[in-house]
A and B are shown apart, each in its own frame.
Chain A
Amino acid sequence: MSRLLLEMHDVHLTYRLRKSLLRSVYHPVINGVSLNVHQGQRLGIMGHNGAGKSTLLRLMAGIYAPDRGSVINHGARVSLLSLQAGFDPRLNGWDNALLSGVLMGMSTKEARQRLKGIHEFCELGDQMNDVLGTYSSGMRARLGFAVALAMEADLLLIDEVLSVGDQDFQEKSEKAVMHAVNQGCAMVLVSHSPIKLKKWTDSVMTFEEGIISPATLEMGCI
């Protein structure tokens, strides 16, 4: 069996909504999820809007701590593919790539070394020297994707994206993700679209009412 990257064991999470000073309403989102992610695995999680998919990814990425249960990371570099994290419209492409890369988890030195690769991948040419405020949304997305890809993560967590820029760039970015997965990077993709999940992943689980629905357990993901 390939290396175990991430382990979730009976994870629970409840949001608390404050109604007034003393009264709160509790809204359980994750009700006992257990799953393992191994190296090279491509796991799809299907759920409708508001099912708690993004919350689940945030738990995996270590942004949230669970209320109960445990999320154990076995030394994997987990990257929640958060495009354009920390982008500043008043800085140029180079500075934004550097800043975003460091926020995502690179050291300043690593980020500097990877700037050239990022520049090549995003195909922005001389416009890298312009401030981000002048970019079109497609150009921003390309830069964001190039930085996220340069992370060289062990586990990529993807929330509905992979539709970046125009047709050509989309194909290129899909290829790049596939290449990373073939190199041994694991991937968890959450989506409400079964077609997308079928195309991208090798096992799909349905996620409803805070639990991974039992019908999909036999697919060998646990």
Chain B
Amino acid sequence: MHTKMTDSGAISRLIQVAWLRAIMGLKSESRGTRLGYLWWIVEPAMHLAVYYLAFGVLLKHGGDDYVAFLLIGIVHWLWFSKSIMNASQAILVGRGLILQLPLHTGIFPLSEILRDLIKQVIVVAILMLILSSMGYLPTTYWLIYPVIFLLQILLTLPCGGLVAALMPFIPDLRVIVPACLQLAMFLSGVFFSSDLVPESFHWLLNLNPVFLLLEAYRDILIRHEQPDWHMLASLLAALLAFNILVIALYSRCNRQYARIIQE
């Protein structure tokens, strides 16, 4: 035991530091480019435009709902994959600070995840505007959106935290993680719906949390129906367990990181 601090005090300090780093990181990021804060809107808009052109206009793939289906998939997939990528490097990038100050290691991935979360709020607002202009007007089902959003945060936190925690031990992950994310994108139903997959494989899709979340977003935003609450409830339970596991990992290994990074 080194410092006498209560658990709740330590947690609130961790969140406070991570939040400030996230805000300052965003500020700094925006000053590094000519367009500044505009990039938060322009960058996702560019992504959406590319996918829209490729799949909606050129290939004329899928049915009437396909463009909206695709946009919802892309927006939420990109958020997940970017958060994981940015968080994965966080502890290595924070090396200097970890050796200078007694900071909780969890601050580093958490501030990256918060940063992407803040940007995502803006992207979601744009997505909702686009959907409305396409004729998918807001309904009461849209009120469920924050619940699914929160579930995605609960998924991103332990995934990003785990990859960040492993990276200093296994630097090879730098290559492995992007490849896995690419594969995961094709397995998560960003481009296809479950009708394209044989019935006998549906159980496999349902084991993929990202697939479940994307389908839930589509249910409430374009299909105007209730998401599969049973599935989401079991997902919530699994995610809570996953979060607790990763938090336990961090509280166990926290003070070893300065040594690992140094060695």
Contact = CB atoms under 8 A, between A and B. Distances in A.
Interface stretch (B83-91, B200-208, B251-259): B251-259
Interface string B222-257: 000000000000000000000000000000000110
Given A58-B99, A63-B101, A73-B3, A88 B24 contact: yes
Interface string B97-135: 111111100000000000000000000000000000000
A91 B101 contact: no
Contacts, number: 81
Given A65-B255, A85-B101, A15 B4 contact: no
A16 B13 CA distance: 31
Interface in A99-131: 99, 102-105, 107-108, 131
Interface string B46-84: 000000000000000000000000000000000000000
Given A63-B102, A98-B20, A107 B13 contact: yes
Nearest to B255: A65
Contacts of B101: 61, 63, 80, 82, 85, 103-105
B28 A90 contact: yes
Nearest to B254: A65
A103 B28 contact: no
Interface residues of B, number: 28
A172 B14 CA distance: 34
A63 B31 contact: no
Interface residues of A, number: 33
B194 interface: no
Contacts of A69: none
A16 B2 contact: no
B92 interface: no
B31 A108 contact: no
Q: Which among B1, B3, B4, B13 has the highest number of chain A CB atoms within 10 Å?
A: B3
Contacts of A22: none
B7 interface: no
B193 to A, nearest CB: 43
B263 A102 contact: no
B20 A99 contact: yes
A65 B260 CA distance: 11
B27 interface: yes
Contacts of B95: none
Nearest to B100: A82
Nearest to B97: A86
A71 interface: yes
Interface in B23-38: 24, 27-29, 31-32
Contacts of B98: 63
Nearest to B260: A16
B97 A108 contact: no
A18 B258 CA distance: 16
A95 B262 CA distance: 29
Given A63-B258, A88-B24, A103-B21, 13 more contacts: A58-B99, A62-B3, A63-B101, A64-B259, A71-B2, A72-B1, A74-B4, A75-B3, A80-B100, A90-B27, A98-B20, A99-B24, A103-B17
Interface of A: 15-18, 58, 61-65, 71-75, 78, 80, 82, 85-86, 88, 90-91, 95, 98-99, 102-105, 107-108, 131
Interface of B: 1-4, 13, 16-17, 20-21, 24, 27-29, 31-32, 97-103, 255-256, 258-259, 262-263
